[in-house]
Amino acid sequence: MYLYHFGLSELPFTLTPNTSYFFGLPSHNEALQVLSTALQTGEGFIKVTGEVGTGKTLLCRKLLNELPDHFESAYIPNPLLTPAELRRSVAAELGVNVDENCDQQTFTQKIQQTLITTNQQRKSTVLIIDEAQALPVESIEALRLMTNLETESTKLLQVVLFGQPELDEKLDRTELRQLRQRITFSYSLSLMDADQVVQYVQHRLTVAGYRGATLFDKTCCELMMKASKGTARIVNVLCHKSLMLAYGEGKSCIEKGHVFGAIEDTEAAFSVSRYWSAKIGLSVVVIVILLAVASWAAWL
């Protein structure tokens, strides 16, 4: 691989949401600020949405790592669960001991008892759900019922939902309007602009141990921004492939040709040549249809 060639101590553009690579993009910093404020107020539901690959799971992990000591947390990374499975997962995360066969009512009571005990210790409990767009509607309703548990003055359980934009579509359903009203804080992540891509790429390289001259210049980063529309995961893929291509040619910095090569090789990236070939292909089909219609009309 290219580690030694570029003087890197580890791969800088892996797809794992590793918090040691976190770069404080303005949108991500704002999201963390909103989360911190919302958690301090003790409100019921908080929602963070963002397009695929914009860093939601990374933010989720960062939030978990940085939760103050007076928070107990439960983390559900894959919420494609029935209401019963969801309750069981929450119970397991909170360390609630329940018998496999116990009924729903006992289950809820045990969870409530744990939440009350935590509250008496002057602690708050937060449930963090990633990929929340995958929650079935009935499980979202079960979640709402769980947050109904409260003392005279505070909620016993706060819920943070991280999800793709489909989550908003789901929450727009009439049967979920009660929950929608309880989302007091929400934030939508933005995509990176060209300057942010430059800083983001440089940051990841530095964390990976790179100490040399600029590897990806502004032109390369602008190309990657256009091809990725500013999505961090696609930028990572393009950087990794560009580094491989430059390494293959024995070059010590990335040139435009390497980035073009990476874009062409990446299905998820927006490629200018693929865009034009699709457009030309469509135009040819339209022209053929028009000619056929015209000759049929002339024949009539």
**Chosen from Mg ion, ligand ATP, none, partner binding at 27 (C-beta under 5 to 8 Å by type):** none
Name the minimum Å distance from CB 180 to ligand ATP: 21
Q: What is the dihedral of CA 245, 251, 252, 257, to 10 degrees?
A: -60
6 binds, among ligand ATP, Mg ion, none (CB under 5 to 8 A by kind): none
C-beta neighbour count of 133 within 10 angstroms: 19
164 binds ligand ATP (CB under 6 A): yes
Residue 19 binds Mg ion, judged by CB under 5 A:
no
**Can you say whether the dihedral through the CA atoms of 162, 134, 77, 69 is positive or negative?**
positive
Give the residue nearest to ligand ATP (CB): 55
Minimum CB distance to Mg ion smaller for 162 or for 247 = 162
CA 280 to chain CA mean position, Å? 34
- Interaction between residue 232 and ligand ATP (CB under 6 A): yes
* Number of residues this chain uses to bind ligand ATP (CB under 6 A): 20
**Smaller CB distance to ligand ATP: residue 12 or 83?**
12
221 binding ligand ATP? (CB under 6 A): no
21 binds, among Mg ion, ligand ATP, none (CB under 5 to 8 A by kind): ligand ATP
User: In the set 58, 94, 197, 215, which binds ligand ATP (CB under 6 A)?
Assistant: 58
Say if CB 176 and CB 45 are below 8 A apart: no
Interacting span for ligand ATP (CB under 6 A) from 70-78, 85-93, 231-239, 259-267: 231-239
Find the binder of Mg ion among 5, 11, 34, 57 (CB under 5 A).
57
Which residue has tokens 């989302």? 183
Nearest position to Mg ion, beta carbon: 57
Least Å distance, CB 3 to ligand ATP, is: 18
Question: Judged by CB under 6 A, does residue 54 bind ligand ATP?
Answer: yes
Positions in the binding site for Mg ion (CB under 5 A): 56-57
